[in-house]
């Protein structure tokens, strides 16, 4: 696919906003990475379909209340991230291609999908926190690639911003105003961590093995595949866990199933430890709960750990129970302790995104199922697809809903090629019990 850039502009807030250095929480510090989302729209027959001027005008308006996103990331003398709220603005790219949307199939992360994202150089000392690219296809369809610095907004805040932008484009007001102050997530004084917090410890590494599939280094190129799970297939998985006194969520059951499948596909030794880092929103878990418009990161890593032998020899329900119990323990006291634990660390580099926490033998798992991603309507209809635009390391997995509200969930996962070939065989194996390979 060939992309031609028509124009690149900087969109600044419509009016001057508070110029200040915005303090970033330790939770923000741990997400210093770019995150990208793709929205795909079919033409609706209107003459001004996805008019760039409408989008830019709405963006300039929404950046006024969401002014930190119009600023720049910087680091202070201690190496801590801060946000320079200076109205420098967001990058807006207009592009076109002779390709048609149908050539992209299911829109799984690929080189072609990456071309629909704005190019951001995050190696500089300061760079834009938001960049978007609108690409016009030969068929009349449009893709919107949104790349945001994760430390300024997690998924919940990011979709709040994008939906607010879309509402303004439709001539509506913002439904929930952003809450800017991040000091609600300061550590306690004095910091009093009271749990070991394995989520902040170095993750398990590969034990020596003679298995050729397992000897592949984690730096090997990975591929991304997408798998669709129907409501019936999810019910088959949940049926394996219906003897429990507690009802497990679909997310917990799918996470357990994917963890086992990845472990089996990677051919891990029985004594190999593996952790699954699950991203959970702490907004409603903290006491008091964070304001609904909280702009920032309130995502905490919940990290169950088992050996490969335990994962593959135990029934699915045991694995899911481990996940469920770990998530339940992540209450206000645990999350506050997590912040305190980060506060007392002498070296902040240990808090930065670490691909090893997802790389083989581990897994990173994020659900976008509770986010209103498919409601992003700029006035020309809702997207026909919304999903990750990029996955930055092996072992990361995203679960997200169908735009048709038909109960289908899509799993996008990055694995080494040899492992992916086996994973494809296991992900749709819903038998109650299966023998080990």
Which residue in 213, 237, 221 sits closest to 418, CA to CA? 213
Which residue in 182, 117, 123, 184 sits closest to 151, CA to CA? 182
For residue 195, what are its two tokens?
């749990």
Which residue in 92, 78, 175 sits closest to 128, CA to CA? 92
Q: Are strands 299-302 and 34-41 parallel, antiparallel or unpaired?
A: unpaired
| Catalytic-role residue among 150, 257, 374, 419 | 150
Residues 382 and 403 sit within 8 Å (Cβ to Cβ) = yes
| Catalytic-role residue among 51, 57, 112, 377 | 377
Which residue in 97, 125, 132 sits closest to 9, CA to CA? 132
Q: Which residues contact 162 (CB under 8 A, 6 or more apart)?
A: 37, 146, 376
Give catalytic status of residue 150 as yes or no.
yes
The alpha carbon of 75 is separated from its chain's Cα centroid by a whole number of angstroms, namely: 23
Residues 282 and 299 sit within 8 Å (Cβ to Cβ) = yes
For residue 230, what are its two tokens?
């129907």
- Cβ neighbours, 10 Å, residue 269: 16
* Residues 347, 342: Cα–Cα separation, whole Å: 9
Which residue in 196, 150, 119 sits closest to 35, CA to CA? 150
Which residue has 């992209």 as its token pair? 104
Which residue in 80, 4, 416 sits closest to 223, CA to CA? 416
**Sign of dihedral through CA atoms 86, 390, 357, 162?**
positive
Give catalytic status of residue 377 as yes or no.
yes
Report in angstroms the alpha-carbon separations of 393 from 113, 120, 221, 259, 319: 16, 17, 9, 16, 24
**Sign of dihedral through CA atoms 82, 282, 154, 423?**
positive
* Residues 56, 314: Cα–Cα separation, whole Å: 54
* Residues 176, 372: Cα–Cα separation, whole Å: 14
For residue 66, what are its two tokens?
């969401």
| Cross-strand bridge partners of residue 226 | 412
| Cross-strand bridge partners of residue 306 | 274
Bond prior to 77 in cis (omega within 30° of 0):
no
Q: What are the residue numbers of the active site?
A: 150, 377
């Amino acid at each position: 696919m060939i992309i031609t850039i028509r124009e690149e502009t900087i969109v600044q807030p419509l009016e001057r906003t508070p110029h200040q250095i915005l303090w970033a929480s330790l939770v923000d510090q741990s997400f210093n990475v770019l995150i990208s989302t793709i929205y795909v729209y079919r033409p609706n027959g209107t003459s001004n379909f996805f008019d760039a001027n409408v989008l830019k005008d709405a963006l300039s308006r929404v950046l006024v209340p969401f002014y930190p996103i119009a600023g720049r990331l910087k680091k202070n003398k201690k190496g801590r991230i801060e946000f320079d709220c200076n109205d420098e603005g967001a990058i807006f790219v207009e592009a076109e291609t002779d390709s048609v949307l149908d050539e992209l199939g299911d829109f799984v992360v690929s080189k072609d999908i990456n071309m629909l994202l704005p190019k951001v150089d995050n190696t500089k000392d300061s760079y834009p926190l938001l960049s978007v690219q609108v690409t016009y296809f030969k068929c009349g369809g449009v893709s919107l690639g949104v790349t945001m610095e994760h430390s300024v907004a997690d998924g919940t805040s990011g979709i709040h911003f994008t939906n607010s932008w879309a509402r303004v484009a439709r001539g509506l007001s913002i439904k929930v105003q952003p809450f800017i102050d991040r000091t609600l997530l300061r550590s306690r004084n004095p910091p009093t961590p009271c749990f070991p917090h394995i989520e902040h410890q170095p993750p398990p590494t590969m034990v020596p093995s003679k298995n050729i599939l397992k000897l592949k280094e984690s730096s090997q190129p990975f591929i991304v595949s997408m798998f669709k799970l129907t409501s019936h297939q999810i019910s088959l998985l949940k049926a394996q866990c219906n003897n429990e006194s507690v009802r497990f969520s679909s997310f917990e059951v799918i996470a357990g199933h994917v963890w086992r499948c990845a472990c089996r596909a990677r051919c891990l030794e029985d004594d190999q430890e593996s952790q699954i880092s699950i991203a959970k929103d702490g907004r409603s878990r903290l006491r008091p709960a964070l304001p609904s418009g909280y702009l920032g990161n309130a995502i905490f890593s919940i990290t169950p750990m088992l050996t490969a032998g335990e994962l593959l020899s135990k029934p699915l329900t045991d694995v899911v129970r481990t996940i469920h119990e770990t998530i339940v323990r992540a209450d206000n006291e645990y999350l506050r302790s997590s912040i305190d634990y980060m506060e007392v660390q002498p070296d902040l580099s240990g808090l930065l995104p670490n691909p090893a926490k997802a790389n083989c033998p581990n897994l990173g798992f994020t659900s976008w199922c509770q986010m209103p991603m498919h409601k992003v309507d700029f006035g020309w209809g809702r997207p026909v697809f919304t999903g990750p635009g990029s996955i930055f390391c092996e072992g990361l997995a995203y679960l997200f809903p169908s735009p048709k509200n038909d109960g289908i969930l899509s799993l996008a996962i990055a694995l080494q090629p040899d492992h992916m070939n086996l994973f494809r065989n296991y992900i749709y194996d819903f038998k109650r019990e299966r023998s080990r390979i």
